[in-house]
């Protein structure tokens, strides 16, 4: 008889814990639903962008899923963002392949049509109406130069591009900076790998991102835990990899162009403007100071210029022609619609100012 009250009390506590857990689950589910509804309102999709990708173990490389669609992003049957790619390539067609990462993929712009590679080809079609142009957007978020080399060799070469344009820098820079920070004991080597909750719950992904942004804002002016860089050798691996990519792209005698990299972060900005402009870069490179970050981007652009000269590639300059402000950038490196149009102008002007490109166009004109 004396055990019944104890059992009853224990049962009540178990029931209370179960109700508490259920309550938390309901709250999280409602919050997750609200976050996904917000994503739908903003991007036209409930699903995470992760559904756009798979790993092709035969390469191996993370690639886009053919036919996938999330919000305003459409992946064609060849596995690239943008319109269908006609195969075999029609006679006299000029096909341009754009190699890069998220800044070429452009998830942040309003539509497939607003992506700068698409605008470049639209501008070329208007300038040379007697010639047919199309393109391959080989940009995939997260790619570094080595990824683009694999992409070129395994996925883009079979599409027979006439022009290859390369736009890379920021992921290689963040990889180099974080490798130095790990070697100097400032961070764990796997610190940026997302956990299970971050991969499956948009709510938790948003919380983690906001915490990282806040941390980056707070640490932007701090002098502790800063990586030590050898400025004389910074970018040596990037130089090697970019030269290898340009050389591979040139093997069939095609025109290869390399564009310098644009960022919202500028030398002439005030300390507060730099801090705001650098936030997203500091999320991925938390152990670099603002002055070193400015130097890093400048150093990588110097390397891009050097490789273009070494390999006789077309150099597309004017990275600061895109204003360094929130109208043209949604963060440190990714374009808004306005920035994407400015980037397209850069590339268009660089191409039509090239005698080699004009000779290519002339060779495809009907006689």
Q: What is the DSSP letter of 101?
A: S
Residue 10 structural domain: 1-43
* 51, part of any domain: no
In order of 119, 132, 315, 358, 361, the CA distances from 365 in angstroms are 21, 9, 25, 11, 6
**In degrees, to the nearest 5, what angle opens at C-alpha 334 toward C-alphas 333 and 340?**
120
Reading the chain (367 residues) residue by residue, the pLDDT tens digits are 444 555 577 777 777 777 777 767 666 555 545 545 555 445 444 456 788 999 999 999 999 999 999 989 999 999 999 999 999 999 999 999 999 999 999 999 999 999 999 999 999 999 999 999 999 999 999 999 999 999 999 999 999 999 999 999 999 999 999 999 999 998 775 545 555 444 444 444 444 444 444 554 555 445 567 899 999 999 999 999 999 999 999 999 999 999 999 999 999 999 999 999 999 999 999 999 999 999 999 999 999 999 999 999 999 999 999 999 999 999 999 999 999 999 999 999 999 999 999 999 999 998 7
Determine the pLDDT at residue 303.
98
Running DSSP on this structure, what letter comes out for residue 85?
A: -
Could you tell me the CA-to-CA distances from 173 to 10, 94, 154, 237 in Å, in that order? 58, 32, 25, 10
What pLDDT is stored for residue 71 in this prediction? 87
Same domain for 319 and 196: yes
3-class SS of residue 198 = helix
- Residue 320 inside a domain? The answer is yes
Domain count, the chain: 2
- Could you tell me the CATH number of the domain that includes residue 100? 3.40.50.1110
Q: What is the pTM for the complete model shown?
A: 0.83
Residue 178's SS3 state is helix
CA 73 to chain centre: 14
- Measured CA to CA in angstroms, residue 195 lies from 200, 204, 205, 212, 287 at distances of 9, 10, 9, 14, 21
The H or E element spanning position 356 is helix 355-363
Residues 39 and 160 in one domain: no
Same domain, 88 and 30: no
Together in a domain, 123 and 267:
yes
Same domain for 263 and 196: yes
| E runs forming strands in 7-57 | 53-56
Please check whether residues 31 and 88 belong to one and the same domain: no
Kindly state whether residue 69 falls inside one of the protein's structural domains. no
Among 158, 54, 144, which Cα is nearest to 99's? 144
The verdict on residue 49 lying in a domain is no
Residue 283 lies in a domain: yes
Res 166: pLDDT: 98
| Residue 71, in any domain of the structure | no
Nearest to 120 by CA among 84, 151, 85, 95: 95
Indicate if 39 and 95 belong to the same structural domain: no
Helix, strand or coil, per DSSP, at residue 144: coil
Give, in order, the Cα–Cα distances in Å from 44 to each of 267, 330, 336, 351: 37, 18, 17, 34
Residues 118, 233 within the same domain: yes
* Nearest CA-CA partner of 284 in 174, 173, 168, 169: 174
For the chain, the maximum distance between any two Cα atoms, rounded to a whole number of angstroms, is: 105
Looking at the structure, do residues 37 and 99 belong to the same domain, yes or no? no
Residues 15 and 110 in one domain: no
Same domain as 119, residue 2: no
Residue 70 lies in a domain: no
Within a domain: 105:
yes
Same domain flag for 38 and 139: no
């Amino acid at each position: 008889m004396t055990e019944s009250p104890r059992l009853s009390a224990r049962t009540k506590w178990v029931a209370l814990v179960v109700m508490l857990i259920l309550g938390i689950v309901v709250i999280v589910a409602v919050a997750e639903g609200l976050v996904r509804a917000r994503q739908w309102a903003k991007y036209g999709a409930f699903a995470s962008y992760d559904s756009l990708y798979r790993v092709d173990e035969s390469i191996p490389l993370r690639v886009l899923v053919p036919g996938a669609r999330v919000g305003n992003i459409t992946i064609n049957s060849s596995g690239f963002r943008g319109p269908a790619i006609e195969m075999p390539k029609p006679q006299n067609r000029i096909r341009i392949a754009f190699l890069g990462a998220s800044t070429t993929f452009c998830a942040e712009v309003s539509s497939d049509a607003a992506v700068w590679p698409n605008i470049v080809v639209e501008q070329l079609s208007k300038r040379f109406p007697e010639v047919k142009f199309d393109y391959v957007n080989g940009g995939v978020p997260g790619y570094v130069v080595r990824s683009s080399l694999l992409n070129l060799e395994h996925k883009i070469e079979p599409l027979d591009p006439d022009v290859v344009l390369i736009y890379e820098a920021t992921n290689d820079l963040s990889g180099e900076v974080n490798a130095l920070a790990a070697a100097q004991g400032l961070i764990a080597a796997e610190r940026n790998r997302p956990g299970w909750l971050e991969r499956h719950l948009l709510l938790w992904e948003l919380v983690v991102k906001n915490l990282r942004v806040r941390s980056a804002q707070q640490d932007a002016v701090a002098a502790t835990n800063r990586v030590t860089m050898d400025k004389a050798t910074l970018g040596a691996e990037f130089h090697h990899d970019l030269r290898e990519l340009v050389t591979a792209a040139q093997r069939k005698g095609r025109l290869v162009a390399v564009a310098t990299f644009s960022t919202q972060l500028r030398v002439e900005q005030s300390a507060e403007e730099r801090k705001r402009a650098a936030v997203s870069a500091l999320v991925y490179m938390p152990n670099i100071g603002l002055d070193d970050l400015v130097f890093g981007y400048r150093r990588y652009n110097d390397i891009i210029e050097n490789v273009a000269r070494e390999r006789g590639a077309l150099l597309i300059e004017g990275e600061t022609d895109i204003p360094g402000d929130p109208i043209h950038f949604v963060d440190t490196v990714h374009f808004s619609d306005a920035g994407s149009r400015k980037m397209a102008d850069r590339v268009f002007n660089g191409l039509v100012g090239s005698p080699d490109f004009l000779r290519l166009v002339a060779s495809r004109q009907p006689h």
